[in-house]
Amino acid sequence: MLQIRKSEERGAANHGWLDSRHTFSFGHYFDPAHTGFGPLLVINEDRVKPGQGFGTHGHRDMEIISYVLEGALEHKDSLGTGSVLHYGDVQRMSAGTGVRHSEFNHSQEEDVHFLQIWIQPNQTGIPPSYEEKHFAPESKTGKLRLIASSDGREGSVLIHQDAALYASILNGADAVEHRLEAGRSAYVHVVRGSLSVNGTALKGGDAAKISGESLLKLDKAEAAEVLLFDLP
């Protein structure tokens, strides 16, 4: 079964310096029908103006993934780590017992566009940690590239949850399939472009909650980039 979440149905928040779309309930946006999907709690699509950003703030017991689409995202945290992320970079921060961090647009000229994803961990009170890896476009083109997993396999970042996150770039005749084990669900979020998921057409910002299916097929793509979550 597929349940479709259309892009225009997402929550919206425009603060001038920040234009954000919330797939799930977040901040002042609350929709009881969309408070998460399994351990997947947040997918925010953020656009931040040049030189602006999120000042230092705290998190606990959350797996936070940043997926940069355009521009340069600067990160600093209380672990002493800091970097500037660009397209293809994936950052994972396990907040654990507590971490404070800030996120800013590193550029004084161009917007930064990124997704921030929150996944509820399957263990709490762990030491906070940080990881960052680059996934070149060719590693995702025409295939599902594992970018986050519970064991860091295949060069993915490690998350503390029995979940797997794949990224793919598809166009034209490209098609990929993903098998779901019994009892598992999936969430497909179209980052941009358009494609079909098991015969259902989706466009950028759209998503599908998927349960009771054993096979997912992504095809009929036009300049598409997509994230696929395999969830408990």
The domain in which residue 183 lies consists of 138-231
* Residues 67 and 84 grouped into a single domain: yes
Residue 30 predicted with pLDDT over 90: yes
pLDDT digits (tens, 9 = 90+) for 45-73: 999 999 987 777 778 999 999 999 999 99
Per the domain annotation, does 194 fall within a domain?
yes
Number of domains in the chain: 2
Q: Which residues, listed in sequence order, are joined to residue 178 by a DSSP beta bridge? A: 216
CA nearest 188: which of 214, 231, 226, 150? 226
Which among 81, 110, 136 is the end of a domain?
136
> Hey, what amino acid is at 21?
R
CATH code of 158's domain = 2.60.120.10
Give the 3-state secondary structure of residue 49: coil
The residues, ordered by sequence, that sit 6+ positions from 33 with a Cβ below 8 Å of its Cβ are: none
Residue 213 predicted with pLDDT over 90: yes
Stretch 77-99: mean pLDDT, rounded? 88
**Residue with structure tokens 């959350």?**
62
Per the domain annotation, does 4 fall within a domain?
no
Per the domain annotation, does 2 fall within a domain?
no
Give the 3-state secondary structure of residue 83: strand
Per the domain annotation, does 225 fall within a domain?
yes
d(CA 167, CA 189): 10
pLDDT digits (tens, 9 = 90+) for 6-19: 999 999 999 899 99
pLDDT digits (tens, 9 = 90+) for 89-142: 999 999 999 888 778 898 899 999 999 999 999 999 999 998 999 999 999 999
Residue 76 predicted with pLDDT over 90: no
* Residues 114 and 188 grouped into a single domain: no
* Residues 24 and 101 grouped into a single domain: yes
* Residues 131 and 163 grouped into a single domain: no
Per the domain annotation, does 85 fall within a domain?
yes
